[in-house]
A and B are shown apart, each in its own frame.
Chain A
Amino acid sequence: MNLLVKNIRIIDPLQNIDEVTNLYVSQKKIAAIGTPPPAKFNAETTIDGTGKLLFPGLVDLQARLAEPGSYYKGSIATETKAAVAGGITTICCPPDTNPVNDCQAVTELIKRRARQAATAFVLPIGAITQGLEGKLLANMVSLKKAGCIALSQANQPIQNSLILKNAMAYAACNNITVMLRCEDQQLKNDGVAHSGAVSSHLGLAEISSSAETVALARDLILVAETGVKAHFSLISTAKSVEMIGEAKKQGLPITCDVAIAQLHLTEYDVMEFNSLFNTTPPLRSKDDKEALRIGLKTGVIDAIVSDHTPLNRDDKLLPFGESKPGISSLETLLSLALKLVEEGVLDLLSAIQKLTQNPAKIIGINKGSLTIGNPADFCIYNPDHDWVLDRTKLVSAGDNSAFDGWQFTGKVEATYFQGRLVYGD
């Protein structure tokens, strides 16, 4: 099927495109961008994009799709629908499923379910250790062969430094990318909130910034020693930005991401003990939020992720410290990232770059850009559509958004996956 989207402002950071022009799709792939149509192109469908924007489909390095696991929190089918409603067409899902994605069978199950849903491209991330227990290595190469794009420990970082070093060395010689979240469990000490003004007031068990930075310091040293290709996930402190910036300057080939919520929320949002603001890592201080924003601007932080975690209501209907951490955030990733543009933190091209080109490059896939021959994954965005988020109306099976009642300017109007309309009308 041939599709023409005309007179639309196309943004493609990889090709440095920001202009009002036409997009041609043929055979599920990008055929051309420009004013004259490619040879022998007859559009069967034409969309007039006047006044709208067109972005490459977003690449999300971390979103939980609730499967395998409990069905009442959603499924790959429901969550990929939520993803495309937010303009995301490629999703990496962490291994903390139930059962854990530490063997080929689970990886294959995830891929099969994603193919059946046929709504977005799902790339599983396998576990580094069996059962994520941090003790015995998972069959890392088998996982890679089965289709895992990288390996990680999700939110259960390896505590034993020797095991971590061995895992990194083994991954390095097999050319496997590891995604590391840095958290020292002993320093975390069962804490539930950032150690700062709010935890001092509320008497919530504290997680100091050093719980992240002590682990990060260790991990940086081991990455340098083993030469593994490492990506740091969900950094949350000002000091982490500084340390990663310094390591990059010294030539360490590392990348990192930040969860979108950390760029908009702080410890003060916890003030009413609202469990919707319970996250891992915890919402940090205002200074941390500012440093993360600056880190994005300077390029220390490469990508923004949703860290989507759909939960059922009972998981949040508990006192703060007993509730499950996590935010349902596929549908707000793009809108919240573009709020950073409104607030002057990023220009439009860089914001889209952190959601498309950069994450695609980190995992080495030909997605996140409108290069000719790439799969036709893109979204059409109406910048004048004002809306208010009502968390009970989310597409995701998890209604645990922390942005209920927020006002947004601009909304995804349609999303195309492999040239096919998967969201919008």
Chain B
Amino acid sequence: MRLSKPNIQLNAQGKLHHFLTLEGLKHTHLTEILDVAQTFIDPATGEINKVDSLHGKAIMNLFFEPSTRTLTTFEIAEKRLSADVVNLNIETSSTKKGETLLDTLWNLEAMLADMFVVRHNESGAAHFIAKHVAPQVHVINAGDGQHAHPTQAMLDMFTIRKHKKDIFDLKVAIIGDIQHSRVVRSQIQALSILEAREIRVIGPTTLMPSNPDALGVHVYHDIEQGLDGVDVIINVRLQNERMQSALLPSEKEFFNLYGLTKERLKFAKADAIVMHPGPINRGVEIDSEVADGEQSVILEQVTYGIAVRMAVIKTIFDNAQALKK
């Protein structure tokens, strides 16, 4: 890929100023976040304690698309860092009244926001916002269209690291709707940067990106072959729209072909972990026995999401501070 242009999410010292995508980031950018996240988890209790780091900083959660889990974990993360938090539900806001996205942003900026956490239905929306905010304002991408969801991918990496020590040398299989998933795009980038040994994607051609080679993944249409010998299995949600646009016949047929069942899990390594960014569709992409089984780490992912998002936010503010000095 041609990525010679300066990465707009990095500052003059090459540190994160925004967090928009994992594309173009280095190993150290990712490990730094994972290491900082670890410091927020109390080793004795496993709980996340409140810290005073961001006292006086204003963070606005700008959600142009509905979300429960991501918005909530961001809000908790921001509050644990002692930031002032405003949630903006765009359904009730001015873009509906004809105000452009930029006017909305500039107004919020004038209210002295230090950071925007943005979710939007257009791929590239977070980049667009980052290009147009004032230089001291930071932007975190909480999911843009089908492009990226970098904090979700980072919490997945954190979860893998918890169980597997090092991501290097792991074989990872991602099952389901690869083409329409921003989470998967970011996961693939994270796994590539952290040098996972092999990244497999499993599903029918209709759910695969048009150019999987460009992403550096191996495509499997047969789930048993795809799961053979893997260390990590990531399941992603199958959305109803896919049936309406004739990409799949039915949920039932999808489950028959690609549903993660106990029998199929046996093809992976015995100590393989099962992940899912949620929300899960039981009986569509995953069987309850697996989702609630011993190898599942699905609920841990949610808890780690808070620590990882705290780490991303804190790292960005610390980098800005370091730049001032």
Chain A residues in contact with chain B, CB under 8 A? 189, 195-206, 208, 268, 271-273, 275, 314, 317-322
List the A side residues contacting B61 at CB < 8 Å: none
Q: Which listed residue (A197, A202, A314) contacts B100, Cβ 8 A?
A: A314
5 contacts between A and B (CB under 8 A): A198-B214, A201-B23, A203-B145, A204-B146, A204-B147
Query: Known: A271-B1, A320-B123, A321-B123. Contact between A203 and B146, CB under 8 A?
Result: yes
Q: Beyond the given A205-B123, A271-B3, could you list 19 further A-B residue pairs with CB under 8 A, ordered by the A residue number?
A: A195-B211, A200-B212, A201-B23, A201-B214, A202-B123, A202-B124, A203-B123, A203-B145, A203-B147, A203-B185, A204-B146, A206-B210, A271-B1, A271-B5, A273-B128, A318-B128, A319-B123, A319-B125, A319-B144
What range describes how many residues of B lie at the interface? 20 to 34
- Determine whether the beta carbon of B212 is less than 8 Å from that of A321: no
Cross-chain contact A320 with B2 (CB below 8 angstroms): no
Q: Chain B 270-294 against A: per-residue CB contact (8 Å), 1 yes, 0 no?
A: 0000000000000000000000000
Q: Which chain A residue shows the least CB distance to B185?
A: A203
Q: How far is the CB of A270 from chain B (nearest CB, A)?
A: 9
Bound CA–CA A275/B8 (angstroms): 16
Q: Is the pair A321, B210 in contact by a Cβ cutoff of 8 Å?
A: no
Which of A195, A204, A272, A314 is the most central at the interface, judged by chain B CB atoms within 10 Å of its CB? A272
Please name all residues of chain A whose beta carbon is closer than 8 Å to the beta carbon of B245 when the two chains form the complex: 189
- Of A200, A208, A321, which contacts B124 at CB under 8 A? A321
Q: Flag if A321 contacts B3 (CB, 8 Å).
A: no
| B102 close to chain A: CB less than 8 A | yes
Within B130-145, the residues touching A (CB, 8 Å) are 132, 144-145
Chain A residues near B146 (CB-CB < 8 A): 203-205
Give CA–CA (A199, B132) in the complex, Å: 23
Are B2 and A268 in touch, CB under 8 angstroms?
yes
Partner of A273, one of B124, B209, B214: B124
Report whether A204 and B123 are in contact in the complex, using a CB–CB cutoff of 8 Å.
yes
Are B211 and A196 within 8 A (Cβ)?
yes
Verify A200–B215 contact, CB threshold 8 A: yes
B101 at the interface (CB under 8 A from A): yes
Known: A197-B1, A204-B147, A272-B5. A319 touches B214 (CB 8 A): no
Whether A321 contacts B145 by the Cβ 8 Å rule is yes
Complex Cα–Cα for A200 and B180 (A): 10
Cβ–Cβ < 8 Å partners of B253 in chain A: none
B64 to chain A, nearest CB (A): 10
User: Is the CB of B91 closer than 8 A to any CB of chain A?
Assistant: no
Q: What is the bound-complex CA distance between A273 and B146, given in angstroms? A: 13
Residue of A nearest to B178 (CB): A200
Whether B2 and A203, one on each chain, are in contact in the complex, defined by CB atoms closer than 8 angstroms, is no
Among residues of B, the one whose C-beta sits closest to the C-beta of A273 is B124
Q: Decide: A208 and B2 in contact? CB cutoff 8 A.
A: no
* B309 at interface, CB cutoff 8 A: no
Q: Is the CB of B123 within 8 A of A200?
A: no
Give the most central of A273, A275, A314, A322: most B CB within 10 Å. Answer: A273
Q: Is B119 an interface residue (CB 8 A)?
A: no
| A318: B residues at CB distance < 8 A | 100-101, 128
Q: Which 10 A-B pairs have the closest CB atoms?
A: A203-B146, A273-B124, A197-B214, A203-B147, A319-B122, A200-B209, A200-B211, A195-B210, A319-B125, A320-B124
**Per-residue A-contact encoding for B1-24, CB less than 8 Å = 1, 0 else:** 111010010000000000000010
What separation, in Å, do the CA atoms of A273 and B182 have in the docked complex? 15
Query: How near does chain B come to A148, taking the closest CB pair, in angstroms?
Result: 36
- A272-B5, A321-B145 known; A204 vs B100 contact (CB < 8 Å): no
Q: How far is the CB of B193 from chain A (nearest CB, A)?
A: 14
A residues less than 8 Å from B2 (CB atoms) = 268, 271
- Chain B residues near A320 (CB-CB < 8 A): 122-124, 128
Closest Cβ of chain A: how far from B199's Cβ, in Å? 14
- Which of B3, B124, B146, B215 is most buried by chain A, counting CB atoms within 10 A of its CB? B124
Interface string of B56-84 (1 = CB under 8 A from A): 00000000000000000000000000000
Q: Which residues of A contact B102 (CB under 8 A)?
A: 317
B127 within 8 A of A: yes
**Contact, CB under 8 Å: B1 / A319:** no
Residues of A contacting B210 in the complex (Cβ-Cβ under 8 angstroms): 195-196, 199-200, 206, 208
> Which of B123, B209, B212 has the most A CB atoms < 10 Å from its CB?
B123
Taking the nearest CB of chain A, how far is it from the CB of B107, in angstroms?
A: 15
| Residues of A close to B100: CB separation below 8 A | 314, 317-318
Residue numbers in A under 8 Å from B185 (CB-CB): 201, 203
Q: Which of B21-42 contact A (CB under 8 A)?
A: 23
* A273: chain B residues within 8 A (beta carbon): 123-124, 127-128
List chain B residues, Cβ under 8 A from A272: 5, 8, 127
Chain A neighbourhood of B148, CB < 8 A: 203
Q: What's the least CB distance linking B294 to chain A, in Å? A: 34
The answer to whether A319 and B211 touch across the interface, beta carbons within 8 angstroms, is no
> Do B1 and A201 have beta carbons less than 8 Å apart?
yes
Of the residues A189, A197, A268, contact of B211 by C-beta under 8 Å: A197
- Residues of A near B171 (CB, < 8 A) are none
Interface residue B237 (Cβ < 8 Å from any Cβ of A)? no
Q: Does B120 contact A (CB under 8 A)?
A: yes
Which residues in B have their C-beta under 8 angstroms from that of A271?
A: 1-3, 5
How distant is A192 from chain B, measured CB to nearest CB, in Å?
A: 8
Among candidates A199, A206, A319, residue contacting B120 with C-beta atoms closer than 8 Å: A319
